[in-house]
Amino acid sequence: MLLLMIFIMLRVVFLGTGGALPTVNRNPSSILVNREGELLLFDCGEGTQQQMMRARTGMMSLSSIFITHFHADHVLGIPGLLQTLSFHGRDAPLTIYGPAWVEQFVKLVSLLGYCRLNFEIKAVPLEAGDTVQREGYVINAIASEHSVPSLAYSLVENDRPGKFDRRHAEELGVPVGPLFSRLQKGESVEVNGRVIYPNEVIGPSRKGRKLIYTGDTRPCEAIIKASKNADVLIHDGTLAQEKADWACESLHSTAKEAADVAQKAEVQRLILTHISSRYTDDSSVLLEEAKEVFENTCVADDLMEFEVPYGKQ
């Protein structure tokens, strides 16, 4: 079997990994997803645009901002980012998605700084269960549990084509060359008076990748269900287990609780973020507690990049 060579970039850049307070090592929450050159921003804490510059991600290809909730540490970077985009000559619309109050937020942002933007900002309110359709993938809004209206998000790619069986195609008389490409594109071809159909030489479709970003949340069933078999789960891991009572009171998660979610959802990889300033110099306790439950865990650092791999299928 010959693998159909279609690889789409899906890169995550952690622009801000801190909890409510910025520290010298961690900016407030912001995660950038680069899918084959299209930039998607999930939350936008203060300093996000500078982090984008440091990481050399670019910003003019930003198509959307997805806000999990409207606590200040998740949105204060938006006004400056919008003005910078305008100064750089952006004229394409930008869509900001978020839970209840996103429309009011966009109106307020538009009034800040006496700066008239050169492009339109579209506000789209979402509720849990809503889906944003994009070319080749969807963004799903997921119920989360925090102290204000909040959402988690999943990015789920469309299924990929199956594997191409070159040997069988040759046995059927298909010559190497353009007819291979047509079969791989789903077209039938005729060889020596016989029609060869794609399903004769191409295996069943394969699942696309799935990426989950929880924002601030308690562990909850909706996120476990949405994360089932995800390639990457980026979960609130604010506190160590010794602060479990405070995590419960403030509606955040401990690292161990995030690992429990990862284990129940059978994800491939867990990445902890929204790290409390208590651990800004040493987050090893969070990593150790999570790994006791779910081994394939790491703690995100600012400017860390991660390429989401294709699953083995």
Binding residue numbers for Zn(2+): 69, 71, 73-74, 146, 216, 274
Q: Under 8 Å CB-to-CB from 205, ≥6 apart: which residues?
A: 159, 160, 161, 162
Q: What is the 3-state secondary structure (H, E, C) of 274-306?
A: CECHHHCCCCHHHHHHHHCCCCCEEECCCCCEE
Q: How far apart are CA 251 and CA 142, in angstroms?
A: 16
Is the CA virtual torsion 76, 79, 84, 89 positive or negative? positive
Q: Extract the annotated binding site.
A: 69, 71, 73-74, 146, 216, 274
Work out the angle at residue 251's Cα, subtended by the Cα atoms of residues 250 and 256, and round it to the nearest 5 degrees.
105
CA separation, residue 220 to residues 18, 211, 225, 265, 293 (Å): 22, 17, 9, 11, 17
Residue 73: active-site member:
yes
For 77, the token pair is 């970077």
Q: Are strands 270-273 and 232-236 parallel, antiparallel or unpaired?
A: parallel
Q: Under 8 Å CB-to-CB from 46, ≥6 apart: which residues?
A: 22, 27, 28, 73, 76, 77, 80
Per the CB < 8 A criterion, the answer to whether 54 and 76 are in contact is: no
How many C-beta atoms lie closer than 10 Å to residue 171's C-beta?
A: 10
Q: What is the 3-state secondary structure (H, E, C) of 149-186?
A: CCEEEEEEECCECCCECHHHHHHCCCCCCHHHHHHHCC
Catalytic residue, chosen from 73, 231, 260, 302, is 73
Q: How far apart are CA 22 and CA 20, in angstroms?
A: 7
Catalytic positions are: 73
